[in-house]
Amino acid sequence: MFDWIDQAVRALRDGVEGLEPRCLSGEQAAKVLERVAEVERLAAVARTLLARRVEETNQWRREGHRSAASFVAAKTSTTVGSAVGALETARRLERCPATAEAFRAGRLSEAQVREVAAAAVAEPESEHRLLEAASTVVGVAALRDECRRVRSAAAPDEGAAVAAVHRSRYLRHWTDSD
């Protein structure tokens, strides 16, 4: 069932072990870099979709975690905040079919899909335009600005925007061993 991922991991591991960047020309390094970025985008798709499934099935509880985000953070060696963001994006993708399709095809990075999905949920009619912007604008910062404009325009009034920000806030606290 999981042979494809095992084979991909083995192939990537072997490739990385044999990688000698100094032996590559600048042009070759740029081409390999583009392919590695594609691998990252596709891995982000799988990670995002699988994290959502873990959340839906409550597998995180069976493994003793306090939240799905805590489980995802532990399994992916990332922060809980990053895992929360991935789970929010996964839930938004359920309401944004064109964005989900572009993400699955590897046309959007994790940063791009997070921005587009958040804006498309706020203003569904903007989804295709934002996907076009994601493929044409240079840099995530410009896309983030465009998505912010869409979300701001979609908010019926300032009070609703403030309430939405308030609802999205959360606090985490812990005690370190230090």
Per-residue pLDDT of the chain (178 residues), as tens digits, is 789 999 999 999 999 999 999 999 999 999 999 999 999 999 999 999 999 999 999 999 999 999 999 999 999 999 999 999 999 999 999 999 999 999 999 999 999 999 999 999 999 999 999 999 999 987 899 999 999 999 989 877 667 667 777 777 777 776 777 6
Q: What is the pLDDT of residue 158?
A: 65
Nearest CA-CA partner of 146 in 125, 162, 131, 124: 131
Residue type, 127: E
Give the integer Cα–Cα distance in Å for 120 and 6.
34
Contact 108, 41 (CB under 8 A): yes
The domains of the chain are located at 26-87, 95-168
Give the integer Cα–Cα distance in Å for 64 and 77.
17
Give the integer Cα–Cα distance in Å for 68 and 58.
7
Q: Is the pTM of this model over 0.85?
A: no
Residue type, 112: Q
Cα–chain center distance at 6: 22
Q: What is the pLDDT of residue 67?
A: 96
